[in-house]
Every structure is written in C-alpha cells, then in structure tokens.
Chain A
C-alpha cells in the first residue's frame, strides 16, 4: 500500500464514522459502530506509524502530507487516547442509557462529533502545510464545542461559549502568526504552492527575515498556547474540562491540548534553525511553562470539584511539557516522554472521576469519600492516577519530571528549577490531601451501588500497568523514537 492511500484512509475513516453515526438510530448500535470505526482507524494509523518506528525518516504524500518521528509519536498517542476513550465512552453512555438519563439524539451527536474531532486532529498532525495545520486546529475547536454540552445544562452552555469564543480568538491570532511566517519568506523565491510547507520553510529557515519571524512566533505561541491551555490564556480550560462528559474531558486533556502544543513544536523547529540555535523561542516557551506551573499550583490548593482539580493539573502538566521543551536536549526528550505519560494518566483520571461522579451524583470532593469501598476498581483508578499525576515514584510521570529537573540542572537554569520544584511540591501536598480523603474517608452520602465490568477493570489495570512499566523500563525503540522526535522539535538535523 502506498503512503498516499494510508494518509487518505486515516483521514477518511473517521469521516465515514461521522456519517454513519448520523444515519444510524439505536444508540447502542451507534456506540458499537463507533468502537469498530475507531478500531479500523487505529489499524490504518498503525500502518503509517510503524515504518517510522522501524527507522524510516519520513512518510510523504503529495508533499502536503508528511509524517516524521515527531508527528508519528503524536499520532500514536492520539490513537491510544481515542481507543481508550471510545471503549470507556461505551460503558459511560451505556450506563446513562440504562438509567434513561440520555436520549438517542445526544448519543448520535456525540458519536458524529467524536469522529469529526478525530479527523480534525489527525489532519493537524499529518499535514506538512502550516495553513492546513491551522485549518485543522480551528476545526477541532468547532467540532469539540458541542461535545462539551452533550448534557445541555446552563453551566455546560456557559463553558461551551467561553471555550468557543476564547479559542476562536486565540486561534485567529495563530493565523496572523502563520501569515507573518509566510511574509518572512518574502524574497526567497519559492513556488506559490510551497510557501507554507513546513519541510521547505525549515530548509530555507536561515534565509528568512528574522524580525518578522520572531513577531510571527509571538502570535503563534499566544494563539496555539490558548488552545494548549498555557497560562495566562488558560481560563476556558477548567470550565470546559469540568462540564464536558467524562470521555470528552479525557480526550480534551489527553490529546486536544497536545495537538496545539505539537503545532508550537513545529514552529520552534523553524525558529531554532532560523536563529542558528540561539534558543530565543525556547526561552519564551520556558517562561510560559513556568507561569502555567505557578498558576496551577495556586488554584489546585483551593479546588473543591474533582474535575476542576484535574483540569488545573492539565494546566500544570502542559506547563511542565513547555518548560521541558524550552530547556532543550534531555528536557525536550523528557517533555515528549511526558506527553504520553500525562495523556494516559489524565485520561484514566477523568474516566475514574466521571464514573465516580455518576455513582455519587456529585463532583464535590468533600462528598465523594471512601471510594475504595464504594467502587474498588474506579476508586483505585482515581487514587492511582492522582498519585501518578503529582509525581509519585515509580510511575512514568515521576521519571519524565525527574529528567526535566535534571535538564534544568545541567543547563544551570536555576530559576526554572526552583519554579518547577516549588510548583510541583505545592501541588503534591495539595492534591495528596484530597486523594487520601477521597480514597479512604467515610462515605457521607448514601450511594448507588454500581458493579464494575471487565472493560472497566481492563482500562484501569491496563493504564496503571503501562504507567508503571514505562516508568521502570523503557524499550529501546521507544527511546530512539523520542530522541529523534526531540531533535526535530529543536530544529536539529
């Protein structure tokens, strides 16, 4: 099979899924078809990703589609998150259908938009054209907006509006940045078609107009940073994450944010080549990373709602990734490692919080106590993922955070090191207190009994198992892929 056909399939399959979700009626059938479509999609993506892992430099088709180590890695994480979330969504909405809390139409709408947002995110990751990448990001905003209010309440509508407006405005800034990047190539005679191709811009980077390019990067960082939830542009994030249904929150936090961060990585690569490896763009990224960690630390201390707590953890961890990328070298490697760790862990955390929320009928942490007794499977899921999120050893998140601290030490970036350690320290204490009370406290309200099925056990055990395994031992081919991806993000050959 040619790469072109694989690129076509990986984009086309979700679109077929979206159409099917609209056409089919019974909600359980829709959820089944959705799972099958996502399964096929994962196979198609696997066929694209595998050669890259095996050592091929890049897969290219019509020069507009391009997959290298950096994008292949992100595509793989995306597929894992979508696979997990789709399986979980089956159980989550299945429970609501059983309780008759949800009608047919919202389930079909969810399935269609779910496939649509998958297609948009795939488009972002596989496109070599920076304009198409922007179109994909804007499309993810539009596709996911109504996913937030699958359950139409006042609060979810409010969250949706905030998300829609803030991200649209932010992403508009990113478009301004994209235009400025093109403008910086004035004088370099590229053909009309190729002026936005990332590969060509990177190769031509030393000849680009530097001041214009730097101005462009500021716009791009603010624009895509809004979507990635970096402070101080993070305001939409806690609302959207807390109001969306659990599978959607898991996907938002698990991959939507990373899609935007991925775009920023593409631009740091160009900036680094253009400025001869001066680290100018990386330093700015560091500042945003530190800000995010600081803001998250303050807000996590005062959280009462478990999903909002997790949302601020997202701000924190995206900040950690930005900081790691900004440090470069080992830091960039660790930041990319952190992408996978955080995505798996956060998806599991949102799933557990969502299911426990269904059981307790609330997301207030004060009232959600004694989880390990009420539902051992999801209780363990939430406890385990919270412990991993705050950086407990030997989970993989501890490893990646440790490497970022090492990178800061090696670079003598002491300000970054202090902010990082203080921030994660505060968060450790603040979140641990909540985690212990929720896991072992006395249940304060009578709760509905709910047995966990085998898929539930599989999701919890699988995610925690992977996080432990990768934390202790990292396969060689994975390590290689990450180093190659880190080199691309830093603009090294």
Chain B
C-alpha cells in the first residue's frame, strides 16, 4: 500500500513539474522527487541486504535531494533568470500532454509486464512516465537549466525502473552510475555558467549558429 502511495506521489511530482514556470520551484520539485526515490529501496528491498540498501539510499537522497539542487540553484543565481519564459509548448498544453503521456505509460506498462518482468503495472508505468516526462522536458524547454532538469527526471525514471526490475546488480555498478550522473550535473552546471557568460542568456533557441 505504502509503495503504491509513493508511486502516486512520483506521478504527481511529474505533473507539477510539467505545469511549473518558476525555475527555482522546478528545481525543488525535482529534489523532492529524488529524495522520494532514495526512500524507495527500503520499501522494495529484500530484507537480507539492509547494509547495502542503507548505503545507497543515503547516497541517493544526499545527491538527488541535496547536492544536485544545490548545484543547479547556484547555476541559476549566476545567470539571473527566474522563469522559463517562452517554452516551445505552453504550460497548460504541457500538462494536457502530460496526461496523455501518463495514459501511454500505463498502456505500455501493461504491455511490457506481459512479456515477463514480474512487477506491478503501477510501478512500471510510473517509471515509464518519468522517462517520458524527462524526454519531453529536454525537447520542449528552451532554457538550458530546464533541459538539465528534464535529463534528471529521465535519469530518475530509469533509476526507479532499475530498483523495481533489477535487484541483483553489484553495488559498485550502482555507485559508478551515481557518480556519472553527479559529474554530468556538475559539468552541465559549469557549462550553463560559461554559456550565459558568452551569450548573456541561457536560451537554447538562440544557439542557432550551427546548421546543416
């Protein structure tokens, strides 16, 4: 039951994110999502591996809930932008499309479960919905920072999927993946800073010198 509630919470964070224009609020939502994901292993784990789960959970919450938002907030302060002003797709349309993506995720979740993954449709669909939302944000948002948030949501979705479907991955691998994502966010933060210095903004749509 608790597990289902967590999934519903995750779905809600995605929907809020799709409709939010304030960048600082978006960062906060993604942080909440990351922290919730960190708790997920406790609910889905086998009881004999408490030490490992604890270690990874603490690390996940610290990174996704603490360090990433801090890095992104710092980038945000440097560039003096508060809102995603003109996204390719408006907020209410984004929300409506989000509902559509959710339906698609549930349909696909049901289909994929049938080929034998052995998890509940709700959990599978939640992970898929997070991935879709992430991809959608990367494609449709114009601010570099919003694209990073999209990437993080996509990553969260894959992380959730991994937690549910795959229980026996070596901890070194999980650690390496977390490290990679951490470095990615760090580098993207530095890149946003450099871009905003060179262009006086971080709108990706104005980065259109390279064509063909």
Residues of chain A having any CB pair with chain B under 8 Å: 129, 131-132, 134-135, 138-139, 141-142, 145-146, 149, 152-155, 157-162, 164-165, 168-169, 172, 175-176, 179-180, 182-183, 186, 192-193, 195-196, 209, 211-212, 215, 238-239, 242-243, 299, 302-303, 308
Contacts and interface: CB of A to CB of B under 8 A. Distances in A.
A138 B210 CA distance: 24
B169 A164 contact: no
B8 to A, nearest CB: 23
B166 A131 contact: no
B188 interface: yes
Nearest to B163: A179
A215 B115 contact: yes
B162 A135 contact: no
Contacts of B179: 135
Contacts of B131: 176
29 contacts: A134-B177, A135-B180, A139-B180, A139-B183, A145-B187, A145-B191, A149-B194, A152-B198, A153-B198, A155-B209, A157-B191, A157-B199, A158-B209, A161-B191, A162-B207, A162-B210, A165-B147, A168-B151, A172-B154, A179-B161, A179-B162, A179-B166, A182-B169, A196-B169, A211-B115, A215-B115, A238-B210, A303-B212, A308-B212
A242 B187 contact: no
B169 A131 contact: yes
Interface of B: 112, 115-118, 131, 135, 138, 144, 147, 151, 154-155, 158, 161-162, 165-166, 168-170, 173, 176-177, 179-180, 183-184, 187-188, 191, 194-195, 198-199, 204, 207, 209-210, 212
A154 B212 contact: no
B169 A172 contact: no
A159 B115 contact: no
Contacts of A195: 168-169
Contact of B158 (A145, A176, A212): A176
Contacts of B195: 157-158, 161
Nearest to A139: B180
A172 B155 contact: yes
Contact of A175 (B118, B158, B188): B158
Given A161-B191, A243-B210, 12 more contacts: A153-B198, A161-B207, A162-B210, A164-B184, A165-B151, A183-B165, A183-B166, A195-B168, A209-B115, A212-B116, A299-B212, A303-B212
Given A131-B169, A196-B170, A169 B138 contact: yes
A186 B168 CA distance: 10
Contact of A242 (B135, B188, B199, B210): B210
Contacts of B183: 139, 142
Contacts of B162: 179
A131 B166 CA distance: 13
A308 B212 CA distance: 9
Contacts of A159: 210
A329 B94 CA distance: 48
Contact of B161 (A139, A141, A176, A209): A176
A158 B187 contact: no
A196 B169 CA distance: 8
Identify the 6 closest CB pairs spanning chains A and B, nearest first: A131-B173, A211-B115, A135-B176, A158-B207, A138-B180, A192-B168
Contacts of A154: 198-199, 207, 209
B63 to A, nearest CB: 15
A161 B204 CA distance: 9
Contacts of A158: 195, 207, 209-210
A211 B170 CA distance: 24
A308 B194 CA distance: 24
A159 B118 CA distance: 42
A15 to B, nearest CB: 15
Given A172-B155, A209-B115, A164 B207 contact: no
B210 A155 contact: yes
Contacts of A157: 191, 194-195, 198-199, 207
A224 B16 CA distance: 31
Contact of B135 (A149, A169, A215, A238): A169
Given A212-B117, A215-B112, A302-B212, A175 B194 contact: no
A299 B176 CA distance: 38
Nearest to B112: A215
A157 B161 CA distance: 33
A159 B211 CA distance: 11
Contacts of A145: 187, 191
A135 B182 CA distance: 12
Contacts of B176: 131-132, 135
A168 B184 contact: yes
